[in-house]
Chain A
Amino acid sequence: MHEKNWDVIIIGGGHAGCEAAAAAARFGARTLLVTHKLETIGEMSCNPAIGGVGKGHLVREIDALDGLMGRVADQAGIQFRLLNRRKGPAVHGPRTQADRKLYREAMRAAIEQTENLSLLGQPVDDVLVEDGRACGVITEDGQTHRGAAVVLTTGTFLDGIIHIGTERVPAGRHGEAPAITLSKRLYGLAEKTGALTMGRMKTGTPARLDGCTIATEKLEAQPADEEPVPFSFLTEKIIVPQTVCYITHTNQATFDIIEENILQSPVYSGQIAGVGPRYCPAIEDKVARFPDRKSHQIFLEPEGLDDPTVYPNGISTSLPAELQDRFIRTIVGLENVKIIRPGYAIEYDYVDPKALLPSLELKALPGLYLAGQINGTTGYEEAAGQGLVAGLNAARAAAGQDAVYFDRAEAYLGVMIDDLVTKGVSEPYRMFTARAEYRLTLRADNADQRLTEKGIAAGIVGPKRAKAFRAKMAELTQARTKAASWTMTPNEAGTKGMHIRADGTRRTMTELLAYPSIDWMDLQAVWPEMGEWSRDIRNQIETDALYAGYLDRQQADIDAFRRDEALSLPTDMDYLALEGMATEVRQKLAAARPVTLGQAARMDGMTPAALTLLLHHARKNQRSVAKSAEK
């Protein structure tokens, strides 16, 4: 058997694997993506949609770091809708229905066009470990592939079991074999090294329907936005034709069938032990938990422009196929529907993410990075975001460079990863904007301003994006400088028909724009140059004005947060020996090994007294680091 050497090997070709591979390759690492089946690279296993509130923020951040998801979704989106349009820009959620085939093709093309990236269609059976480091993989055909770093993105494949009623089928996804050997290997590794703790999660998917058999004329249609808002900062216009979704509801008859037969659902029969996400409940859960509610909304989402398959969003189920057929036919519009394949629940292995560093590398097994559902998350966007960070850091490690971290004040990526590695998960983790302390700062519209420069410095932003970004920033900076230099007194404003409190204070254009009674055109009449600014620039200036006071206050909070984050804790600290700290706290710290004082503060059960002590050690560490730097 001949061996080939790579810098980075990615296991898995889903949303995490694709971003990981592309990020590592953009960095310049010789990258190999190994997946059991090349045809399913970029597959959407569950709902055919990308983005949303929180999730859309993640897509924008991935895009700002020159990742693939945003660009690919722009080529595959068939019903773009900006969620929360009536609320402020911080919580706008870009979202689209995606044509599954177009998405897969666009992702495959993007991967194939990426330099330094090779593909291999082989199931992976084992991760090679030598001298306590991950250094390659062994594929099912017995070949060894060596790499300086390995990124593992197993999705739902790790010892995956599909449940439909009492039926149990080992599978990673409908019709595809699970990764059983690799699961055993990881459990072995967990036992041998204590490097990781494994557990089981579950998720589910609804039946797929034949759209030709749906009576859409009875249903309310939900159209796409008239002007689709793209994900990528580089996409100028969406050219994919846009389509509609239909909305229908479950009813009393649906409720009755499910309630009568609820014990046939493997979740309620006790057949499934894995924890499922609360925000993607099966219809059985909805019936059981909200018995008073007889009607639940269902979105009928097309899976493609030339694909009759419809995804009925809202009725995920693992009831026996025959019962699925019965309850679905009680629903208005679906009376004569043909089910293409039944819904199911799937259980799979995950690894407690507290075992990870914020670089997503396993603390106790250097060289091995984990991303996506294996870390206990749910969602394409969450997986892709972790993939990008893991791929970037794997590539940097292979090149002997330091890891790049994202913090809670600069990115949802930072919020998500910090939550995962600091607090762990008790159910599949999904992104919510409410998880971000600095929500007004972390917006979808300014993801590039927050991250692209950092991405350039980290080595994963290509020249095309860098150039476009710098041009935009030059324009924006100029506009902001002008907006701050143009001023008026209340008297002057009064003569232009803008009435504000006559306190003699000169106000800048941005300050004036913050008044609800003053609009853009009022000000443009005074400063005509404003009319020349692009839509993008105008939106930014408007947001600056709307959030002005809040962003200042948030910045003060961020500064305080960063002071704690700047205090790094020694990596070799003997926590068990810390005097004056409760044993429980010492053990927690020893297990978690927080990277910064800030991370330690966010751990459960941390006390002010313990933090004071840690602060003392952090300061000592900082001084000794400074000293050795002088030498």
Chain B
Amino acid sequence: MSRVGAPETVFALSTGAGRAALAVIRLSGPDVELALTRLGLKYLPPPRMAALRKLYDPISGALLDEALVFRFVAPHSFTGEDMAELHVHGGLAVTQSILAALASLDICSPAEAGDFTRRAVLHGKMDLTGAEAIADLIDAEGGAQQAQALRQMNGSLRQVMEGWREALKTTLAHVEADIEFADEDLPGGLGQRALEGVPEIATAMEKHLQDRRGVALRDGLRVALLGAPNAGKSSILNMLAGKDAAIVSARAGTTRDVIEVAMVLDGVPVTLVDTAGLREAGDDIEREGVRRAKVQAEAADIRLLVLSPDTQSPRLKGASLEDADLLICNKADLGPVPEAELRTLGEIKALSLSATAGDGEAVLLEALQELVNERAGAKEAPILTRERHREALEEACIALQRALEIADTGLELAAEDLRLAQRALGRITGAVDIEQLLDIVFADFCIGK
């Protein structure tokens, strides 16, 4: 085995590929200063100060570009390592030649995807939730998503989780003290009393678990258009999307597959899904279309049921039509949808419009926005933004509830469940180890004979 490992200093083009006025190349690692020197910088700029410098090819000595150079000294940088940013001209030739020059140095190598953030986590500059937030921020498509990612980056999730973690740590430490120091002069019923704070934590967790808006906002919402063949679902989709995304024709059963259109409503990314008309007939292809429509209906966050005076509302099992969030009575120019049709669908909010006439678009958008806000709106900030968080928290919450139930049977069983809860939370925030528990025990109680 050779002793030469991959260089620890990495570099990458941090702005998008293609022609632009500027491009930024970042470097991170112990040899950043050396790399800059090799690119011909005789004088390194002072940390955090912009300086105009000429960059030269380390081999041929050719001038590559004139760049604005920033330097950051460990640990005061994004990654916690020495870093530099080269703000160069954004042409393809310029960026490629500088990247090639860096690659030719044996002291640095191209960064892998996520390398900079990973280094930041490794050096304790951010925790896992912070790193996730950065990924979310970069991926954010709408303003609400952006705001949520920024909140998480600034610790909204971490703070709540840390609060629970700290509270559980003390609880568990006191329960463990009760178990471990049976012949010591400890307050009576120490373990049982420590558990008194647990219901409050479990309730707070439940509250956050019930709030699904964070995950919905991060993942975006799916809105399904459902209805009988030829009710005008595709026309409505086209009206909302403002373009001909779905083939619209008067023949029933045209939309045999599922057609999606992405849009942003109030900062929330929304995917509108057009589906095949729901009916028990047609050829094999249409039957497949119907099956897919049902799947879409199940998976959707918001279901719009489209009715029209000239079609029968679909009566199919498994399409959850009763769960529709909004009834759209299309083709209002042809007359009202029969009362009998509406009655079977009970209390669902309904509105009338005519998609082909382009009438009622504003009303529909407003109703849809209301529904989107309800599901993913972020007036009061939700904190659980990933399914991973939800699962871990759910596990922790169940373990806490069990700990309370079992505490009378055996304190060691309650401790076991507290440990499980702690471990589940640790998957979001990082683990608690035994030494931390012992620190609490010895700080809180005079132990030892």
Interface-located stretch among B84-92, B367-375, B411-419: B411-419
Chain A nearest Cβ from B375, distance in angstroms: 34
Contact residues in B for A609 (Cβ distance below 8 Å): 118, 122
Chain B nearest Cβ from A500, distance in angstroms: 17
A607 to B123, CA, bound (A): 11
**B183 A88 Cβ-Cβ under 8 A:** no
Contact residues in B for A54 (Cβ distance below 8 Å): 180
Contact residues in A for B242 (Cβ distance below 8 Å): none
- A224 beta carbon closer than 8 Å to chain B: no
Given A88-B413, A95-B183, A286-B446, 15 other A-B contacts at CB below 8 A? A47-B449, A53-B180, A87-B410, A91-B179, A91-B412, A281-B448, A290-B446, A296-B185, A297-B185, A299-B183, A432-B176, A574-B1, A578-B5, A607-B122, A609-B122
- B2 beta carbon closer than 8 Å to chain A: yes
Chain A interface size range: 35 or more
Chain B nearest Cβ from A328, distance in angstroms: 15
16 examples of A-B residue contacts, CB within 8 angstroms: A52-B183, A54-B180, A83-B183, A87-B411, A87-B412, A90-B410, A91-B412, A279-B447, A281-B446, A281-B447, A298-B449, A435-B434, A439-B416, A577-B2, A577-B5, A582-B122
**A434 B437 Cβ-Cβ under 8 A:** yes
Contact residues in A for B416 (Cβ distance below 8 Å): 439-440, 550
Chain B nearest Cβ from A288, distance in angstroms: 11
- CB contacts under 8 Å to B, within A276-299, are 277-281, 286, 289-290, 293, 296-299
- CB contacts under 8 Å to A, within B290-349, are none
Contact residues in B for A84 (Cβ distance below 8 Å): 179, 182
Contact residues in B for A298 (Cβ distance below 8 Å): 449
Mask of A83-125 contacts with B, CB within 8 angstroms, 1/0: 1100110110101000000000000000000000000000000
- A217 beta carbon closer than 8 Å to chain B: no
B residues bordering A, Cβ < 8 Å? Answer: 1-6, 8, 118, 122, 176, 179-185, 409-413, 415-416, 434, 437-438, 442, 446-449
**B2 A439 Cβ-Cβ under 8 A:** no
Chain A nearest Cβ from B175, distance in angstroms: 9
Contact residues in A for B4 (Cβ distance below 8 Å): 577
A278 to B448, CA, bound (A): 8
Contact residues in B for A578 (Cβ distance below 8 Å): 5
- A579 beta carbon closer than 8 Å to chain B: yes
Give the residue name and chain of the B residue nearest to A298 (CB): B449
Chain A nearest Cβ from B388, distance in angstroms: 14
- A583 beta carbon closer than 8 Å to chain B: yes
Question: With contacts A87-B179, A583-B8 known, is A293 near B446, CB below 8 A?
Answer: yes
The 7 closest A-B pairs by CB, nearest first: A88-B410, A297-B185, A83-B182, A313-B449, A579-B5, A434-B176, A314-B449
A84 to B191, CA, bound (A): 12
Give the residue name and chain of the B residue nearest to A87 (CB): B411
**B6 A432 Cβ-Cβ under 8 A:** no
A578 to B2, CA, bound (A): 9
**B446 A90 Cβ-Cβ under 8 A:** no
A90 to B180, CA, bound (A): 11
A residues bordering B, Cβ < 8 Å? Answer: 47, 52-54, 81, 83-84, 87-88, 90-91, 93, 95, 277-281, 286, 289-290, 293, 296-299, 313-314, 316, 432-435, 439-440, 516, 546-547, 550, 574, 576-583, 586, 607, 609
Contact residues in B for A583 (Cβ distance below 8 Å): 8
Contact residues in A for B185 (Cβ distance below 8 Å): 296-297
Question: With contacts A54-B180, A278-B447, A516-B409 known, is A432 near B3, CB below 8 A?
Answer: no
**A93 B182 Cβ-Cβ under 8 A:** yes
Chain B nearest Cβ from A543, distance in angstroms: 11
A90 to B2, CA, bound (A): 50
A52 to B8, CA, bound (A): 50
Chain B nearest Cβ from A344, distance in angstroms: 16
Contact residues in B for A93 (Cβ distance below 8 Å): 182
Chain A nearest Cβ from B423, distance in angstroms: 9
Contact residues in A for B176 (Cβ distance below 8 Å): 432, 434
Contact residues in B for A83 (Cβ distance below 8 Å): 182-183
Give the residue name and chain of the A residue nearest to B410 (CB): A88
**B179 A53 Cβ-Cβ under 8 A:** yes
**B410 A546 Cβ-Cβ under 8 A:** yes
A87 to B449, CA, bound (A): 22
A281 to B67, CA, bound (A): 63
Contact residues in B for A546 (Cβ distance below 8 Å): 409-410
**B179 A280 Cβ-Cβ under 8 A:** no
Contact residues in B for A582 (Cβ distance below 8 Å): 8, 122
Give the residue name and chain of the B residue nearest to A583 (CB): B8
Chain B nearest Cβ from A615, distance in angstroms: 17
Chain A CB within 10 Å — which of B5, B409, B438, B448 has the most?
Answer: B448
Question: With contacts A280-B448, A286-B446 known, is A433 near B179, CB below 8 A?
Answer: yes
Contact residues in B for A434 (Cβ distance below 8 Å): 176, 179-180, 415, 434, 437-438
Question: With contacts A87-B411, A280-B449, A434-B437 known, is A580 near B179, CB below 8 A?
Answer: no
Chain B nearest Cβ from A511, distance in angstroms: 15
**A432 B180 Cβ-Cβ under 8 A:** yes
Chain B nearest Cβ from A568, distance in angstroms: 18
**B438 A88 Cβ-Cβ under 8 A:** no
**B442 A279 Cβ-Cβ under 8 A:** yes
Question: With contacts A279-B442, A576-B3, A580-B5 known, is A550 near B413, CB below 8 A?
Answer: yes
